[in-house]
Every structure is written in structure tokens, then in C-alpha cells.
Amino acid sequence: MPLYYGIKLKLHPQVYEPAEDTFLLAENLAMKKGDLALDMGTGTGLIALLMARGFRFVLGVDVNPLAVKLAEENARLNGIKNVEFVLSDLFERVSGRFDVVTFNAPYLPGRVEEPIDLALIGGETGREVLDRFIREVPGYLKPGGVVQIVQSSITGVEETLKGLRRAGLDGKVVARKHLFFEDIVLINGYAR
């Protein structure tokens, strides 16, 4: 069974397998010790399980039921108890405010035909899921809270920064990794 940053992970063919984008987030987590963290689009649950090391409680969310089930299994496998996973389309079934919210967002344009497509396809333009997330996330951040978004340069980093500004957050690119035909970018948005 593969080990990521000390976490044992069971994988599933219909759930996103941690990759370069996941690792960029994992290596730059805003792990200021805190009370509550939310991992949107949790996939295998890896980011939520890593955040559970620093936060009192972590909520992981995914719209893919297979991801929610797998993340729960991975929490059990690692004996991590201060984490819960829920099936939700973005914030539909989330309440409360968090110190840190993470989202490694889907970004390709297209149509979702099977669960694994949810990991990559962000609607017809590729930005629909991300834009909706950016509009809604300020309502789930505590004052001084941070949102961490991983996306591809293909999806428009400037658009994300503008969207964050419009939503009342101060956005900043904090890490970047060059792959073959794109940059993977980590953007932090700070609540005032």
C-alpha cells in the first residue's frame, strides 16, 4: 500500500490518485495550528488526513460518493479520528466557519461521464466549479482565515485572483511547479 508523507493510502480507480498538484498543496499547507479545517474535493482524503495533524477537527468534502467512502476508509486505516467526510456539492452540506479551507480544484472543460471525471472536469468552461467555490468560500472562513486553491495555469490564474478580490479576499500566488505544458499554481486567499 503506498505511503504519502507517512499516511497509508488505499486507492480506487474512480478516485483521483494523489499527483503533483496534491503534493504542491501538501508541501505548502497553511498548518498554523488551529481549530477547524475544511478540505474541499478531498479525493483519497490525503490532504484532510495531513491537516488532522495540526487541527482539532477536519472536515473533508467530495461530490463523488466513492471518494467519501475511500477517504473514510483511509482515516480508519491510519487511526485518525479527528476527521469526518461528507458527500456534498461544494458547500451544500457544510456549515460553520474554518481557519483553513483547501481545494485542489478540477479545471478541464468538458462533460462528466463517470465519477473519476469529477476530479478533472470543472464544467463546460473548466472554471465553473472553481468560480462557484470562490464566490461561496468567504462565508465559510473565520476572520483571518486562509483559503488555499491549487489550479493549473491553463485555467486562468489572473481570473482566480480577480475572483478572490471580488469576493473580498486578498489573493496571492504562493507556490508554483512547472510541468510539461502547464504550471501548477497554489493561490492563498486571506480573509480580512
> Contact residues for ligand SAM (CB under 6 A)?
16, 18, 22, 25, 40-43, 46-47, 61-64, 67, 89-90, 104, 106, 118-119, 129
d(CA 119, CA 153): 17
Q: Which is nearer to ligand SAM, 111 or 143 (CB)?
A: 111
Q: Name the residue number minimizing CB distance to ligand SAM.
A: 41
Q: Which is nearer to ligand SAM, 106 or 171 (CB)?
A: 106
Dihedral sign, Cα of residue 93, residue 133, residue 166, residue 184 = positive
Q: In whole angstroms, how close is the CB of 50 to ligand SAM at the nearest point?
A: 10
3-state helix/strand/coil string of 123-167: CCCCCHHHHHHHHHHHHHEEEEEEEEEEEEHHHCHHHHHHHHHHC
Q: In whole angstroms, how close is the CB of 188 to ligand SAM at the nearest point?
A: 16
Q: In whole angstroms, how close is the CB of 173 to ligand SAM at the nearest point?
A: 18
Q: In whole angstroms, how close is the CB of 142 to ligand SAM at the nearest point?
A: 21
Q: Which is nearer to ligand SAM, 135 or 192 (CB)?
A: 135
Residue 62 forms beta bridges with which residues?
87
d(CA 8, CA 19): 15
Can you say whether residue 110 is alpha, beta or left, with left for phi > 0 and alpha for psi between -120 and 50 degrees? Answer: left
Q: In whole angstroms, how close is the CB of 143 to ligand SAM at the nearest point?
A: 25
E-strand stretches of the chain: 3-4, 7-8, 34-40, 55-62, 83-87, 98-104, 141-152, 169-178, 183-191
